[in-house]
């Protein structure tokens, strides 16, 4: 239970860090090469790629990752010590968030809010890779759900 409570805190910290990062003015998309790996998805049908920053960690059985393009930040966390597929639900140990710069609304999938799947195909002491898809519910305002599909990540920590 203690690990499950830490996951949202770790994820929120990662999201704030990723959202605070800015693009290099000399290379607005950083050439697609970020030092901590890659992350991409479709947000409501539009292509998205982390081009400004990616951050990830794996500590005390909690894997968390977040990526941003400077406007949209996608993050997720799961309490696990092994690879596998993790579904968001009432008794799940996984959550996901979307933050949009300048918006007072956030979107999340955790517990009984939202839904989704995170698949970790590789998990080591220094890296992780896999796929994700989420339906995120609005938090802090009135808005429509956000749908994230075709998500992939390959990160180092």
Transcribe 4-61 into DSSP letters.
HHHHHHHHHHHHHHHHH---BTTBTTGGG-BTTEEEEEEETTEEEE--SEEEEEEETT
Q: Which of 4-13, 46-55, 109-118 has the lowest mean pLDDT?
A: 4-13
Residue 76 is predicted with a pLDDT of: 98
Tell me the pLDDT tens digit for each residue of 12-32: 444 444 434 443 433 444 445
Look up residue 84 and give its two tokens.
């596998």
Tell me the pLDDT tens digit for each residue of 90-117: 888 999 999 999 999 999 999 989 999 9
Beta-carbon contacts of 4 under 8 Å, excluding residues fewer than 6 positions away, are 79, 93
Residue 32 is predicted with a pLDDT of: 54
Count: domains in the chain? 1
Residues spanned by the domain of 77 = 2-156
Q: Full-prediction pTM beyond 0.85?
A: no
Mean pLDDT of 125-144: 94
Tell me the pLDDT tens digit for each residue of 58-81: 999 999 999 999 999 999 999 999
H-state helical runs in 43-134? none
């Amino acid at each position: 239970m203690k690990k499950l409570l830490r996951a949202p805190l770790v994820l929120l910290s990662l999201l704030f860090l990723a959202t605070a990062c800015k693009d290099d003015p000399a290379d607005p998309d950083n050439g697609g090469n970020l030092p901590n790996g890659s992350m991409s998805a479709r947000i409501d049908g539009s292509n998205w790629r982390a081009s400004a920053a990616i951050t990830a960690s794996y500590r005390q059985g909690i894997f968390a990752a977040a990526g941003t393009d400077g406007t949209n930040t996608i993050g997720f966390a799961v309490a696990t010590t092994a690879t596998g597929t993790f579904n968001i639900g009432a008794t799940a140990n996984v959550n996901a968030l979307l933050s949009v710069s300048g918006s007072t609304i956030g979107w999340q999938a955790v517990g009984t809010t939202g839904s989704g799947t995170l698949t970790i195909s590789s998990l080591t002491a220094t890296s992780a890779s896999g796929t994700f898809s989420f339906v995120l519910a609005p938090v802090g305002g009135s808005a429509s759900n956000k749908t994230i599909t075709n998500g992939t990540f390959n990160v180092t920590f």
